[in-house]
Amino acid sequence: MTRRWSGGKLVVATHNAGKLREIAELLAPWGVEAVSAGELGLPEPEETETSFIGNARLKAKAAAQASGLPALADDSGLSVAALDGAPGIYSARWAGPDKDFGFAMRRVWSELEAGRAPEPRRGAFHCALALVWPDGGEAVFEGIVEGDLVWPPRGSRGFGYDPMFLPDGESETYGEMEPARKHASSHRARAFRHLVAACFEDKPVMASTRRLISSGSPFESQLGYSRAVVQGDWAFVSGTTGYANGVMPESAAEQARNALAVIGKALAEAGFGFEHVVRATYIVTDAAHVAEITPELGAVFSEIRPAATLVVAGLIRPEMKVEIEVTAYKG
Ligand code: ITT
């Protein structure tokens, strides 16, 4: 069994400020006393291995030995299918000594152009995390996110190749999206989730941060609620009725379809999908509406089969016939 984290200091063995920021945020709920390799003045070892895992272990081992503390290292990069996986473990090196990622991204795109790679041009971010103890004990975890490569690069958030990477299911590149959204599902977050499951306690030391999502409905401010609340691995979407652009359609089926579209948007903004829904509540104002909305619900939930409750009750406005609420979990 993988050794569990028993508290105390942890060296985050990276010299990359972007990674350090992301790893510090991922570690924050776990009450870990993190110190960076830079703060300890640790040298940057040469990455001589031929895989992400090999290089992550090499970096963590070097930091654990030099500091006498457990060390966490990340080796990551962008692999492009049409370039036989390049730049891959050489992702940092493609940016040259000045760490110019504008240059590195141009090189990726120009090599794709030169090879007349068909569109969409696919890429994957890989992350290997290695946790190594000074006595040699170690644990290694991996996470991958796939997506399309876009040109020109979009956005100035994140770091490295983020502006040219559009993760599957998203409309913004990692360079455009809010950091919290990247952290919810990135390659690094995925690898980190495995690490947490294997090495850290079951419960975060501090409460995980809460994120509120709004759909701009006028009811939200009047009644004081959010379209959705994201807490750790959970997303709670409020009761949603069938308005589309402020207009309520007549038919219950159309109301259900609109409600599900709004729910889908809120889930996506939270970094979730319908496949994560574990519970649903359906409220209809008349039992006769059940037959009308059943195909709409089936279209979204038949494979998912959340635990569900069906209620016949009055709704706040006469034109409302259907209200739907869901809870999603991404463990
Ligand atoms: P350390 O070895 O000190 O951790 P490094 O930058 O040399 O820093 P790597 O050898 O793992 O790290 O190189 C990974 C490169 O891949 C990194 O410099 C980025 O350009 C890119 N990369 C990794 N994760 C990324 C992410 O989340 N977003 C954008 N680019 C990323």
pLDDT digits over 119-139, tens only?
Answer: 999 999 999 999 999 999 999
pLDDT, tens only, 265-285: 999 888 899 999 999 999 999
Domain boundaries, the chain: 8-199, 210-329
Categorise residue 91: left if φ over 0, alpha if ψ from -120 to 50, beta otherwise: alpha
Does domain 8-199 fall under CATH 3.40.50.150? My reply is no
Rounded Cα–Cα distance for residues 96 and 36 (Å): 23
pLDDT, tens only, 159-189: 999 999 999 999 999 999 999 899 888 999 9
Say if 8-199 and 210-329 have the same CATH topology: no
Predicted pLDDT of residue 307: 96
pLDDT, tens only, 209-268: 678 888 777 777 777 888 999 888 899 999 999 999 889 999 999 999 999 999 999 998
Ligand 1 atom closest to Cα of residue 188: 27
pLDDT, tens only, 50-80: 999 999 999 999 999 999 999 999 999 999 9
Name which of 206, 204, 211 is nearest 182 in CA terms: 211
What is the Å distance from ligand 1's center to 81 Cα?
18
What is the Å distance from ligand 1's center to 329 Cα?
29
Are residues 206 and 219 in contact, defined by beta-carbon separation less than 8 angstroms? no
- DSSP reduced 3-state for 238: strand
- Active site annotation includes 75: yes
Predicted pLDDT of residue 207: 47
The pTM for the full model equals 0.66
Q: Kindly state the tokens that stand for 172.
A: 């913004």
Instruction: Give the CATH number of domain 210-329.
Output: 3.30.1330.40
Mean of pLDDT over the chain: 92
What is the Å distance from ligand 1's center to 214 Cα?
33
- If you take atom 31 of ligand 1, which residue's CA is the nearest one? 160
